[in-house]
Structure 1
């Protein structure tokens, strides 16, 4: 039995958007689908605590409102964002970036998934800090591989590994999110053995600046001492 949805009843674009995506779990479902089509059971596994009935209800509502559709061309059909749903990418990434600054220290009950690190990198990229070098930076986070490619004055993110990365970072998902939130500096993560970095000092500096982890002058001093 479907429940009656409460609406804001305000003639406003923001209120209209929140009528669709403002309920608990909805944007987290969108987050998962921003990484590509996903099967129902994969969504359930990546959203611990949602419950199967609630996930089904949310997917049904998002489908009815043109945000999500059934994915085609797979052995087992999953779900994917529509073109209309894909328009949520930049707003969701900006909200995720904003939220990083509000993350405190992780607690034992906090769940973390390595693919969330991929979205974190997307949200942290500062295109105004792209350098003049065409190069690739690779990240391996709990078996999930992704990379940043800088080419032609623009940085883009991609799943998988890249050939001959100028920098390679290997860590676990919890450490990765702690670094992104500013609760753990990359240098302290290296010193404590939680992060492995391969690459010359200047390259590591460029990556940290590109992701807004440290200011350039600070990066130069820290990288020289610790990497």
Structure 2
């Protein structure tokens, strides 16, 4: 890749950073961890990046097989980007990095941009693998005006955009509150008392979900 940064080191970490170490690249992957997205959707959720730079970063990720461009059902001219199997391998380390980074969020950071997708990313980062329920159920998170769903099947979790009409649990709040809970700035109980979060579902589903998220 002419003109691209290369650390010139025989090291797996350096080789990985040759691909994802450029500014904005991790945040582009962050958007696709939540689900496939169109170019304009990513531009809207990445305030500060220019279209030319986004196009360049996407092109690099496609060339390395981290993401792929797919046609949009019902739109012959449209395309959306999604992670490949190679890109999906970034999910665990990136969620770990997000979870690690939340300890550094401070009150002043709330003056910055926040998106519904980032609120749901905070929820994803909170999942504790050995506390995933053994029963099959789903939890819907209504983050602002955007619905997202966590499906639990066979002891594994799947994260999706969109609502689930058969959800066993529905949690409604704004993106800022979800991030604050993930960063341990406030507890869910404080948010409930302040009317900033709403929970609908059985006591058992609530207990299983909050335990999985390390909140019980």
Answer yes or no: same fold by TM over 0.5.
Answer: yes
Match of 1:35 in 2: 34
Query: How far off is 1:90 after superposition?
Result: 2.0
Conserved 8 A contact 2:38-2:81: yes
Separation in 2, partners of 1:196, 1:96: 25
1:169 aligns with one of 164, 168, 171: 171
Match of 2:85 in 1: 83
Match of 1:217 in 2: none
Q: Provide closer, same or farther for how the CA distance between residues 171 and 61 of structure 1 changes in structure 2, counting only shifts above 3 A.
A: same
Separation in 2, partners of 1:156, 1:60: 27
Q: Which has the higher contact order (CA 8 A, sep 6+)?
A: 2
Separation in 2, partners of 1:92, 1:137: 22
Output one character per residue of 1:46-87: Cα deviation in whole Å (capped at 9) or x when no partner: 100011221122122222222233222452123233332222
TM-score by length of 2: 0.85
Match of 2:45 in 1: 46
Match of 2:22 in 1: 23
Greater share of strand residues, 1 or 2? 2
Separation in 1, partners of 2:66, 2:157: 27
Where do 1:112-127 residues align within 5 Å?
Answer: 112-127=114-129
Is 1:99 matched with 2:101?
Answer: yes
Output one character per residue of 1:103-157: Cα deviation in whole Å (capped at 9) or x when no partner: 2225354111112233332222123223455433221111111233344444443
Match of 1:210 in 2: 212
Q: Secondary structure at the match of 1:101?
A: helix
Separation in 2, partners of 1:60, 1:156: 27
Please list every run of 5 or more consecutive structure 2 residues that lacks an aligned counterpart in the other structure.
none
Q: Secondary structure at the match of 1:205?
A: helix
Separation in 2, partners of 1:128, 1:101: 22
Give the alignment's Cα RMSD to 1 decimal. 2.5
Conserved 8 A contact 2:38-2:79: yes
Moved more, 187-196 or 110-119: 110-119
Conserved 8 A contact 1:114-1:142: yes
Match of 1:13 in 2: 12
Output one character per residue of 1:132-191: Cα deviation in whole Å (capped at 9) or x when no partner: 554332211111112333444444433333345443211000111110111111011111
